[in-house]
Structure formats: structure tokens, C-alpha cells
Amino acid sequence: MNGEVTGTVGTVGSGTRTGAIGAPMERLEGRAKVTGTAPYAYEHSFEGALYLHPVLSTVARGRVRSVDPARAEAVEGVRVVLTPWNAPRLARTDDREFTILQDDEVFFRGQFVAAVVADGPEIARQAADLVVVDYEAHDHEVDPSSPDRETYRPSADDTGVEPDTEQGDVEGELAAAMVRVDQTYRTPREYNNPMEPHTTVALWEGDPDRLTLYDSTQGVHVVRGTIAEVLGLDPELVRVVSPHVGGGFGSKGSAHAHNVLAALAARALPGRPVKFALTRRHMFSLVGYRPDTRQRIRMGAAEDGRLGVLVHDVMEATSRAKEYAEMSGACTRMMYAAPARRTTHRLTPLDVPIPFWMRAPGEAPGMFALETAMDELSYACGVDPIELRVRNEPERDPETGLPWSGRNLVECLRRGAERFGWRDRDPELRAHRDGDWWVGTGVASATYPRLTMPGSVAEIAHEQDGSYTVSIGAADLGTGTWTALTQIAADALGCDTASVRLRIGDTDLPSASVAGGSSGTSSWGSAVVAAARAFREEHGNEPAVGARSRAGTPENPDQERYALHSFGAHFAEVRVNADTGEVRVPRMLGVFSVGRIINPRTARSQFVGGMVMGLSMALHEEGVVDPRFGHVVNGDLAEYHVAANADVGLVEAEWLEESDPHVNALGAAGVGEIGIVGSAAAVVNAAFHATGRRVRELPLTPDRFLS
């Protein structure tokens, strides 16, 4: 059995590369990736591996009456058919997402109800088709727009964010306002769709039993914690390995049901590695998605556009199986200076798969609504949309009253306006036509919190050859962690990057927080800096071979003293075909304020990637649910459209040269999510400018522009 995973990645720091913080260092694992030698989860090779293929429920709500495995078991090469009655038992069954094959209940269509493990993936798949499941179907509700739905307030414990807030005299200000906007914006279900499917290879072996998962995840320690708890194991007996990840966008930010299913299968077949890669279709019901939102925004302003009141009421779908709340209204609490403000969140529980994080959960749909509403207000007042935002700049965080650690929204807007050529824009609607195309431009703001998570630890050891091994269980989901942490370590140790050997993606390494909330570089990087400082204090500049030190992400008292947020400004040029309604986006520009940039090459890739995902959100993405059966009818990449090269014109990202002294010792905030925030609104606002047609429901399909 081959458990060796460090080969390719353990040597990434060797060679002659240099790259201090701020240098556009090439990805250290780039060569290994393009030559196919960087091991993704499914590619860890084993002798005697078995393959799992699941059976998914075909009813949206009900009960499994029986599972007949006979025809599947008769297929040569089938090792076991797991059912709700013969699967190994779990220790914890209060979280429905992880309660796999423990009872007969069906909570949504596409839930695991059985699984086949066989000698080959084709055998497993064929046999899974032969498993006969009999259901007792119950009435289900999957349509969030059906009338008389029950709704409830999400629990603040789950999200860490208060669902409802109110300040000032909301009703009084609404009544007194000279100019009002009152509109409802909708976003559909959206799917993360990382290129690499969610994959786990599970191996149960040894005495005492140890479980190893080779997993595609944004957090090995997070997955270990969940799996150990659900299976009732000492966490020390669970190892999760994940050196390379082919994208996640949030969906790999926690364990999901497939991890548990693979672990159960491995327990049933000890000593044999069980490989389980979800198909694209499986990923439409089992690994989360952004729930559909309906957001009502009410604004009351003076004639000059200064807001007196801002109300953001959010209605969202969730799963009856497990609560997930997308906190779409939270951005409205800190974004603009309205003395009166109210935000609320309500959930509609449905018999649907369990939603989860998708790139900028909350901010992405929330800022689509808020920034489209700001554009509406700008036309209602006759104030330029950039000037309107400048007039509503808050001096302090209006929610907490704290001073900003650095609020450079206005500079982002001004710099972007200059570069984009905003000054020459004719504010007139439907005024510019180029052949068959209406042409317009739009702007929107972006924001994302500067998060640092506690609990990461880095270890630094001095090696025989004079290099330093830097170990932390961090994740690189394609974002550039290998490279950025190597740069941070070299900078902190005062050595060349060639002298740093980074180790990440393994629970055998010191604990690391999840790659989520754009907090990775800040949280892990702070731990690496602290460990380097400890190392120099303990061992000096001429350390002995074998000298080692450890330190964790330090506490940051400024987290309580400052409002820590990143900002940005998006500009888009949109062309809408006058006859067909087809939308084209030849030009996007984003200007960002995120503190110091560790690596401009990988940071730019994150910004541009986020903007393209925002373009995709604006133009294409929509999971269409069939209310009769509860499934997504376009559950594959042929029909769930994401932006492709042909959709993308010139996408440019730049950033302010700055450093935030309050966020961490690096002065650097995250860059992973802010690119998607607000970019869809910039496209929608540009389409309005082009055509005079205001679209409040994503995506911007051609029919929205035909009357």
C-alpha cells in the first residue's frame, strides 16, 4: 500500500527560486501540476484499491421501504452492497448531513440510500444501477416561491452573525424620505462546481484501528474533527491528507456526506482502500450550493442622495435536513452611512439538499442586491453612481461605531473611474448603440471582512542541509498557498525561499484553520511569522541542526478595536443585442483594497477568478429545480452554464499599494472572495445603462431584454 504523498511537494522549496514578500513568484507546485505528478485525492495510488458508487434517493421526501441488493451482489467483482440496515453504525446521529445509511428516512432527492463497493469503478457503477430501492413517498415541498410557506429566523449560533439588527428610527425615516427605492432582488440556486470533484479515498487499517482519508478538502483538520466525532473515534486515530486540491470555492470547506460514506465502506472492508469520487451530477445534491435568495431593499434618501434609512430583508431557502443560512444582509450593516437601518433574515425550510458555503457566502448575493439598489437610487436622485457612494461614506463602521482599519472604497472607485474612462460616460439610458448592440457601463462596490481565524500552529525545524522545514496543516485549493506561505516563511526567517521546505495538507502536521472566509493567508501566515520569531529567539541566527520551534496564530487585540474590512470597486462594460437580447461583457475592471499583497501573480489570479465567477453569476448560473420531483434538471456542466473563455473579454484587476497595520503582522488580508462580491451588480447596472431595462433577477438571460 502506498501512503507516500510528500514526494512531489516536499521538495517544492528546493532549487534556486527567490521571492520575497511582494514578488510575483511562480507557483512552486506549478510544474508538478502541469506534468501530472502533483497527487490529487483520487490519484494517490494503492494496490488492492476498491471503488465505491452510491445509490441516490429518487424521492424528495419519504422512507426507504426496502433495498434489494441481490442483482448487484450477483455482479462479479462486487464486494459489498451497503444499505441502511447493514452499514456500520455511527456514534453521532444528530446531524442529518452526516447520518448516512443509519435509518430509512429520506430528506431530499439525491440523498445516499445505498452504495456498492467493487473491484473496479465501472463494476461499482453498473452494480449500483441494479440495486432496487422501494420507497414510501411523502408529499414534498421544494419550491421556495410557493405561497404560505413557513419561515423562521436562523439561529445566530450557527452563523456567528445576528440574523436581525435595527438602529435608529426606520419607519420615521422611510416616511420622511424625499427619494425612495423599494425593490426586491432575486438570485437563484448556484453551484460551486470546482473542476476537481469531491473525492475521498478511505483506508481502515492497523491495531488499534486507524482511519486515513485522502481527501479533496479546504481543511484537513476540519474534516478530521467531523469524521472522528461522527464515527466515535479519537481524532488521533484519524488522518486526513490533502496536498493538492482542484478548486473548492467553499464547498470543500467542511466534511460532507461522502466522507462518511467512504469511511463506513472502509470500515466494512478493513485493510482495503476504498476510492470514491463523486460524479458531477452527484455534486448537485451532496456537497452544498448557494441557496436561492429573495431580498427586499428599501432606501430613503434626501434629494442629494444621502441615505436616511436602509432596510435589507432577506428571505432564503434552506434544507429541512439541516439549517444553513446565507447571511446576505450582513454587508448592508457596514456598507453605507444611513442613520436608520434594519436587516432581517428568514429561512424557508424545504425538502431540498443541504446548502453550504459558496465563494463569499452572504456578500455575493447581498451585494448584488444592495449595489443594484444603489444604482437605482442614483437614477432616482440624478446623482452619478460613484458620487452617490462617496456621499454615503461612513466615517466609522455604522454597525459597531469602531474606526476603520483602512476604508479605501473611495480611492478604489476613483482609481477605477480614471482607468475605466468613467468621466466620458454619458449618463443617458439607452443612448449608445454600436451596430446591433446597445452599449453601457456600470459600477458597483465590493467588500469583504478581513478575517483571521484562531487556532493555527506552525512548526519550523532546521535541517542538516541548512534549509528550514515549515509545517502547518494548511490547504492550497489552487489559490497559491504553497507559494505564499513559502514567501512568508522565507521573509520571516530572513532566508531565501529556496531554503524553505513547506509541508501542508496533512493532519500529521500542526493544526490549521479552514481555507475559508478568505482567512487562510492571514491565519496561517501569522502563525508562520510567529513561529519564525520564536525560532530566532530560541535558536538565534546560527541554529543547530534539528533546532525547532512552534507558535500559533497570535491573538490580535485590534480585532476588537477596529472594523476590519476590505473594499473594492467593479466596473463593467456590457453590450446587449437589440434583436436577440444576448449579453456580452467585453470589459471588466476591479480595483481592490486588501492590505499588503503577498504575491501579485497568485493574488491577481484570485481577483480575476472571482470577477469571472461574478460574471458567470450575472450571465449564466442557475440551478433549475423540477418541483414535481425535487431534482435540479440541469445538474451537469452541459446545462448548468458557467462562464467560459468565449464569455470573457478583458478582465483586469489592480490594487492599492497599502498595508493594514491592524489586521496581522503581515499587513495582508485575504484575496479569495472579494472579486466575486459586487461584480454581478456592475454587470446588471451596465446592462441597465445600455438598455434602460432594469433586471432584478439573476441571471441575465436574453429573455430579460426582450419584450
E-strand spans in 607-679?
625-626, 631-632, 648-655
Q: Which amino acid is at 340?
A: A
Closest CA to 54 of 104, 137, 112, 136: 112
State in angstroms the smallest separation of the CB of 243 from ligand MOS: 18
Closer residue to ligand MOS in complex, CB, 357/468: 357
Q: Which of 327, 314, 321 is nearest to 349 (CA)?
A: 321
For the bound state, the minimum distance from the C-beta of residue 329 to ligand MOS, rounded and expressed in Å, comes to: 17
Interface with ligand MOS in residues 181-220 (CB under 6 A):
218
Number of residues counted as binding ligand MOS (CB under 6 A): 11
Residues 640-679 that bind ligand MOS (CB under 6 A): 673
User: Minimum distance from CB of 418 to ligand MOS (Å)?
Assistant: 31
Q: Whole-angstrom Cα distance, residue 185 to residue 295? A: 5
Q: Within 10 Å of residue 49's Cβ, how many Cβ atoms?
A: 18
Helical pair 600-619 and 363-381, crossing angle rounded to 10 deg = 70
Per CB under 6 A, does 361 bind ligand MOS? yes
Query: Can you state the angle between helices 600-619 and 679-691, rounded to 10 degrees?
Result: 50
Q: Binding to ligand MOS by residue 609, rule CB under 6 A?
A: no
Q: Taking the alpha carbons of 136, 142, 148, 150 in that order, is the dihedral positive or negative?
A: positive
Q: Of the two residues 96 and 359, which places its CB atom closer to ligand MOS in the complex?
A: 359
CB of 359 to ligand MOS, least distance (A): 5
Q: Which is nearer to ligand MOS, 413 or 484 (CB)?
A: 484
Using the 8-state DSSP alphabet, how is residue 47 labeled?
Answer: T
Cβ contacts of residue 655 below 8 Å, gap of 6+?
Answer: 591, 592, 593, 594, 597, 603, 607
416 Cβ contact partners less than 8 Å away, ≥ 6 residues apart = 422, 443, 569, 570, 571, 589, 590, 591
Judged by CB under 6 A, which stretch of 124-132, 169-177, 277-285, 356-364 contacts ligand MOS? 356-364
**Beta-strand pair 210-215/238-241:** parallel
CB 622 within 8 A of CB 189: yes
Is residue 165 a contact partner of residue 312, using CB atoms and an 8 Å limit?
no
Nearer to ligand MOS, 361 or 699 (CB): 361
Q: How far is the CB of 103 from ligand MOS (least distance, A)?
A: 31
Q: What is the CA radius of gyration of the chain?
A: 26
CB of 282 to ligand MOS, least distance (A): 20
Measured from the CB atom, the residue of 83 and 616 that comes closer to ligand MOS is 616
List the x/- string, 512-531, binding to ligand MOS by CB under 6 A: ----xx--------------
Of the residues 84, 246, 250, 667, which one makes contact with ligand MOS according to CB under 6 A:
250
**Binder of ligand MOS out of 118, 301, 358, 529 (CB under 6 A):** 358
According to CB under 6 A, which residues from 218 to 247 bind ligand MOS?
Answer: 218
Q: Nearest Cα to 269, choosing from 46, 103, 507?
A: 46
Bridging pattern class, strands 132-137 and 105-106: unpaired
Find the shortest distance in angstroms from Cβ 217 to ligand MOS: 11
Closest CB to ligand MOS among residues 288, 510: 288
Going by the DSSP 8-state scheme, the letter that residue 393 receives in this structure is -
Contact region for ligand MOS (CB under 6 A) — 143-151, 270-278, 351-359, 684-692?
A: 351-359
- Binding segment for ligand MOS among 249-257, 549-557, 585-593, 640-648 (CB under 6 A)? 249-257
User: Counting contacts by CB under 6 A, is residue 19 touching ligand MOS?
Assistant: no
**Residue number closest to ligand MOS, CB atom:** 250
- Nearest approach in angstroms of CB 451 to ligand MOS is 9
C-beta of 355: minimal distance to ligand MOS in Å? 12
Nearer to ligand MOS, 200 or 254 (CB): 254
Among the residue ranges 85-93, 269-277, 355-363, 549-557, the one whose residues contact ligand MOS (CB under 6 A): 355-363
User: CB of 305 within 8 A of CB of 336?
Assistant: no
d(CA 486, CA 496): 10
Comparison of 507 and 518: residue with beta carbon closer to ligand MOS:
518
Give me the half-sphere count of Cα atoms (radius 13 Å) on the Cβ side of residue 532.
23
| Among 162, 229, 673, 697, the one annotated catalytic | 673
User: Grid coordinates representing 245?
Assistant: 486540491
Task: Name which position in 53, 359, 462, 696 contacts ligand MOS (CB under 6 A).
Answer: 359
The edge-to-edge listing of strands for the beta sheet with 457-462 is 500-503, 468-471, 457-462, 548-552
Q: Binding to ligand MOS by residue 420, rule CB under 6 A?
A: no
Considering only 13, 39, 253, 308, the residue that binds ligand MOS (CB under 6 A) is 253
Kindly tell me the sign of the dihedral angle through the C-alpha atoms of 276, 277, 278, 279.
negative
357 binds ligand MOS (CB under 6 A): yes
Tell me, yes or no, if 190 is annotated catalytic: no
User: Minimal distance in Å, beta carbon 252 to ligand MOS?
Assistant: 8
E strands, 216-339, in order: 238-241, 274-277, 293-301, 307-319
Q: Binding string to ligand MOS for residues 134 to 163, with x set by CB under 6 A, is what? A: ------------------------------
Q: Closest by alpha carbon to 33, among 597, 609, 476?
A: 476
C-alpha to C-alpha distance for 86 and 622, rounded to whole angstroms = 38
Q: State the residues that interact with ligand MOS by CB under 6 A.
A: 218, 249-250, 253, 357-359, 361, 516-517, 673
Q: Looking at the annotation, which residues are catalytic? A: 673
